[in-house]
């Protein structure tokens, strides 16, 4: 599971069942398995998200078995939806998330 930082003040938007509601709004379906919210969308056969702490969220995706059956537009749409979900949940854009990950890797805390 990949951990993403949550921007200050964004925890209140995903605490409790709000993360599940956000998944339901963006991906159109969501089920709860323990403390993990699970969904599917396009090229992603399984999307798991959970709040780890007030400052971190965990996310794991599993792609469909045969991606060759999907069009490029379907794959791009899946990536865009995932980025929309992450930006809404964490408050950081894709570029910000990448820069934070690079900084952590450089510091050796990743």
Quick one: what percent of the chain has pLDDT higher than 90? 74
Residue scoring higher pLDDT (68 or 48): 48
Residue with tokens 């007030």: 54
Report pLDDT for 11. 93
pLDDT tens digits, 72-92: 899 999 999 999 999 999 999
CB 3, CB 58: distance < 8 Å: yes
Report pLDDT for 69. 85
Cα–Cα distance between 10 and 4 in angstroms, integer?
A: 12
Average pLDDT rounded to a whole number, residues 18-30: 92
Report pLDDT for 21. 93
CB 26, CB 81: distance < 8 Å: yes
Prediction pTM value: 0.89
pLDDT tens digits, 28-56: 889 999 999 999 998 999 999 999 999 99
């Amino acid at each position: 599971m990949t951990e993403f930082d949550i921007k200050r003040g964004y925890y209140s938007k995903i605490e409790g069942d709000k993360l599940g509601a956000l998944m339901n709004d963006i991906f159109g379906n969501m089920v709860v398995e323990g403390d993990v919210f699970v969904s599917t969308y396009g090229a992603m056969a399984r999307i798991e998200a959970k709040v780890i702490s007030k400052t971190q969220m965990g996310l794991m995706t599993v792609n469909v078995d045969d991606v060759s059956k999907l069009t490029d537009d379907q794959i791009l749409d899946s990536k865009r939806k995932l980025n929309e979900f992450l930006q809404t949940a964490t408050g950081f854009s894709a570029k910000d998330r990448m820069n934070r990950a690079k900084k952590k890797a450089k510091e050796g805390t990743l």
